[in-house]
Amino acid sequence: MQQLLHGLEHCHNRGILHRDIKGSNLLIDSNGNLKIADFGLATFFSSPQKQPLTSRVVTLWYRPPELLLGATEYGVSVDLWSTGCILAELFVGKHIMPGRTEVTPFYFMAIMPSCIIDFVNHIESFITDP
């Protein structure tokens, strides 16, 4: 996770949003080095963004709520949400929001509030004591 966050920081500091962070776009070599791959949906961004961006990015299972609702102004939060989904998958050992429609992730968010609270607590403890 640390390598992923450092890689995203590198991209974001240079004004690049990946917009499709998911497990299959993370490559790990035999030495444990992580590489972020598939920049096909990546775009440059700036603050404030003058051009509206498309909300039809990020694989559905990793798409943040603002994109599910059609937002066209967004930033690094889209990559960080996807990263959080990957971290949650590592904790629970399976996909946390699988589905085929844009409504499905909201269903999972609604039925798992206690899981989300536990997840946030795990992240806080990880950040304070890695």
Residues tagged active-site: 20
- Tokens 């066209």 belong to 72
Q: CA gyration radius for the chain?
A: 15
Cβ contact 4:65 at 8 Å: no
Distance CA 68, CA 56 (A): 8
